[in-house]
């Protein structure tokens, strides 16, 4: 596996991560995705030439094992999209301390550790005259907080702050930006009442689909003059 320069998408086996992986592969990017739990989509991704690596970012050992694997197999990287995420709330939670630790482990520590570990691999690509990218997938709740997902919201805010710090550290060779989605797509088990309520939270009142996130990723990858910024995909929710 030497000599390749992939874009890594963490949590790339479902929803937005999956859509991004398939779109970038179709554009002839060399794509590598991580997944925690095996899914039917893994075989489809591999059939498209996308490398899939099982990785658990909820533990230090899992993060370090993934880092070691990439450093062993590659000499350079085109980019990293930090999409892996946990979505848990304080409701019915028996151990809120453990919940907070888990949210920060996945959303802050893992990207922090991975970005630092792969700095040389990202710079190796940029030294060939091409910019490289880190993209953090944050969340709309960073702006307003969440009374039902306090640990989650705080950790996504931490990830948003990493965007500014790493943009400063890695300039001018590596661009570091964030994408903050609100509603992009519903889950299959979301009922009609919930869907209607969620749609009315934004000015545009629509479910744009995962392609809205894909377009944001492509814009950042194509840009040569944006770093330390966040693209908000919220349908004008901040004005409601």
Return d(Cα 87, Cα 15) in angstroms, integer.
Answer: 14
- Over the Cα atoms of the chain, what is R_g? 17
Structure tokens at 30: 């060399």
Nearest alpha carbon to residue 53 among 27, 72, 76:
72
Residue 16 neighbours by CB under 8 Å, 6+ apart: 83, 137, 181, 184, 185, 210, 213, 214
CB 177 within 8 A of CB 220: yes
Which residue out of 35, 140, 152, 219 is catalytically annotated?
152
Using the structure block, give the residue that is written with the tokens 């990785």. 55
For the four alpha carbons of 232, 201, 156 and 64, in that order, the dihedral sign comes to negative
Q: Count CB-CB contacts under 10 A for residue 2.
A: 8
| DSSP symbol at 189 | T
Known active-site residue 152: yes
Q: Which amino acids are annotated catalytic?
A: 152
């Amino acid at each position: 596996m030497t000599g390749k320069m992939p874009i890594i998408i963490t949590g790339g086996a479902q929803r937005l991560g999956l859509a991004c992986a398939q779109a970038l592969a179709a554009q002839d990017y060399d794509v590598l995705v991580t997944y925690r739990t095996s899914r039917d989509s893994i075989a489809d991704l591999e059939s498209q030439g996308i490398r899939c690596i099982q990785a658990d970012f909820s533990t230090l050992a899992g993060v370090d094992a993934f880092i070691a694997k990439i450093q062993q197999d590659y000499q350079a990287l085109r980019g990293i999209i930090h999409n892996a995420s946990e979505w848990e709330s304080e409701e019915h939670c028996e151990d809120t301390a453990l919940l907070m630790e888990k949210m920060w482990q996945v959303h802050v520590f893992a990207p922090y550790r991975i970005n630092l570990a792969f700095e040389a691999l990202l710079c190796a690509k940029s030294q060939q005259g091409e910019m490289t990218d880190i993209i953090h997938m944050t969340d709309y709740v960073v702006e307003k907080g969440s009374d039902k997902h306090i640990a989650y919201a705080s950790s996504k805010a931490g990830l948003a702050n990493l965007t500014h710090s790493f943009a400063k550290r890695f300039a001018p060779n590596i661009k570091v930006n964030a994408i903050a989605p609100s509603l992009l797509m519903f889950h299959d088990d979301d009922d009609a009442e919930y869907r209607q309520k969620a749609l009315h939270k934004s000015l545009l009142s629509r479910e744009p689909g995962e392609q809205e996130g894909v377009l944001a990723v492509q814009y950042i990858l194509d840009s040569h003059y944006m770093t330390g910024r966040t693209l908000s995909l919220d349908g004008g929710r901040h004005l409601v």
